[in-house]
């Protein structure tokens, strides 16, 4: 059970209690402790947090117009956001960024993700490969730099990081943002510290970011402290947050070490890097829709897929517009992350996996239709057309009929949502001012 699931179950039990008294609140505190400790949050931090929540919840006077259940849920939200640390706001200006980290944290991929992040914001980016210990690091970063549309410099086989930095800065002097990817090790040894200090003195970075794997949990705090003593970090990037049950432990440990979390990695694709916002992170754990991030992801996906505004605002949903929207959806990253932004956090893992497989299958089916068939669903009442499409897409006739059935369900849902005037009012609970 991950942290979000544990927190939601604890709150659900509180909401289902007939009476909320001191005993109920203390039991609720124990459930919170169990969820947080299982996510590898440091025990001392857990006890301090639940004590604050219990003391505030046991106060006799509640804010006017707020139920005790809602008040306690909000306490949990605020305390967890504080536990995870301050939110980060990246400074979009010319800069140099040094990336450091232990081997296996995903540092090289993160360098490319960071390059794409600044490229997408109009900043020309260059990447310098100073990872001189890991085989194929040069080739990997060179390939990823092309995917991110960023410049690249490295000297394949060279071990002198000072030379690489000097020549890299000269080669990439026209770039507004220059990112240097350094070597990783299995541990923070003397050799790694010496190499990092040399790069630091030659590169003169404006930002020094440590890349940490979420799976290491509260050990992240100790790692951050060691690197901070070596080169004085300005922040941390926590990777693989989407698939780790210890992400909360890693984030809270970094915060407790008085180092800011700057970004989080939420998938393998280059766009799967998010600016860290503690309240949004906690909101997703609790199942609160993050519409702002969802809209940003949709806009980015639409831009990447080449969709036009009329494809989105189309009054009539047909297979043609449905196909384009599905292609855009596939660029938004893992389905789990997208659903989390919508507040749909308890979808079974099996259903998510089937959903992504089905999405790919349906893309193939629609790709095998003629343009007339995409525009006019009624044409697919002809069994011969269904047979032809199944053969062309490498699927079965049952699969094609399944797509048609799902398409009709979505069309009905779209019509219902168009006429649902309460939608904005419901969402305004999470985004104040939306329903005005």
More confident position, 234 or 355: 234
Q: What is the DSSP letter of 273?
A: E
CA distance 99 to 181: 5
Q: What is the DSSP letter of 155?
A: -
261-265 and 177-182 strand pairing: unpaired
pLDDT tens digit string along 91-130? 999 999 999 999 888 999 999 999 999 999 999 999 999 9
CB atoms within 10 A of CB 371: 9
Superfamily name with CATH number, domain 291-427: Signal recognition particle, SRP54 subunit, M-domain (1.10.260.30)
CA distance 378 to 67: 52
Average pLDDT for the chain: 82
- State the pTM of this model: 0.70
Q: What is the DSSP letter of 265?
A: E
pLDDT tens digit string along 190-238? 889 999 999 999 999 999 999 999 999 999 999 999 999 999 999 999 9
pLDDT tens digit string along 139-184? 999 999 999 999 999 999 999 999 999 999 999 999 999 999 999 8
Residues present in the chain in total: 436
pLDDT score recorded for residue 222: 92
Residue 147: both structure tokens together = 């995917």
Q: Is the pLDDT of residue 87 over 80?
A: yes
CATH class of domain segment(s) 95-285: alpha beta
CA distance 86 to 207: 17
Which residue(s) pair with 99 in the sheet? 181, 209
Identical topology for domains 95-285 and 291-427? no
Domain ranges (residues) in the chain: 3-84, 95-285, 291-427
Classify domain 3-84 at the CATH topology level. Answer: 1.20.120
């Amino acid at each position: 059970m991950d942290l979000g699931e544990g927190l939601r179950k604890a709150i659900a039990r509180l909401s289902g209690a007939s009476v909320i008294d001191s005993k109920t609140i203390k039991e609720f505190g124990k459930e919170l402790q169990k969820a947080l400790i299982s996510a590898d949050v440091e025990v001392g931090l857990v006890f301090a947090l639940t004590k604050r929540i219990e003391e505030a919840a046991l106060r006799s006077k509640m804010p006017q117009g707020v139920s005790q259940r809602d008040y306690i849920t909000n306490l949990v939200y605020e305390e967890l956001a504080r536990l995870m640390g301050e939110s980060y706001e990246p400074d979009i200006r010319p800069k140099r960024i040094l990336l450091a980290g232990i081997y296996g944290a995903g540092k090289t991929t993160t360098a490319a993700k960071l390059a794409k992040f600044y490229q997408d914001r109009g900043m020309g980016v260059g990447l310098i490969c100073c990872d001189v210990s890991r085989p194929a690091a040069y080739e990997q970063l060179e390939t990823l730099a092309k995917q991110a549309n960023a410049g690249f410099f490295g000297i394949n086989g060279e071990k002198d990081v000072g030379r690489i930095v000097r020549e890299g800065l000269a080669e990439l002097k026209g770039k507004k943002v220059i990112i240097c990817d350094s070597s990783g090790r299995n541990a923070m040894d003397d050799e790694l510290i010496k190499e990092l200090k040399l790069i630091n003195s030659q590169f003169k970075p404006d930002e020094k970011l440590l890349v940490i794997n979420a799976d290491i949990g509260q050990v992240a705090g100790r790692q951050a402290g060691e690197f901070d003593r070596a080169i004085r970090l300005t922040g941390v990037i926590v990777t693989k947050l989407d698939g780790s049950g210890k992400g909360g432990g890693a984030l809270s440990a970094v915060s407790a070490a008085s180092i800011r979390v700057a970004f989080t990695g939420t998938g393998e694709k280059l766009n799967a890097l998010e600016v860290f916002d503690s309240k949004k992170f906690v909101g997703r754990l609790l199942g609160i829709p993050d519409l702002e991030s969802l809209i940003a992801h949709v806009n980015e996906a639409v831009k990447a897929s080449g969709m036009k505004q009329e494809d989105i605002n189309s009054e009539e949903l047909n297979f043609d517009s449905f196909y384009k929207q599905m292609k855009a959806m596939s660029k938004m990253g893992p389905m789990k992350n997208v659903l989390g932004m919508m507040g749909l956090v308890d979808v079974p893992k099996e259903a998510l996996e089937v959903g992504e497989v089905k999405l790919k299958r349906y893309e193939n089916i629609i790709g095998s239709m003629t343009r007339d068939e995409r525009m006019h669903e009624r044409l697919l009442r002809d069994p011969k057309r269904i047979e032809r499409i199944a053969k062309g897409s490498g699927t079965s006739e049952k699969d094609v009929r399944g797509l048609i059935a799902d398409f009709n369900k979505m069309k009905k849902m779209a019509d219902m949502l168009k006429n649902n005037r309460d939608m904005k009012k419901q969402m305004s609970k999470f985004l104040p001012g939306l329903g005005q």
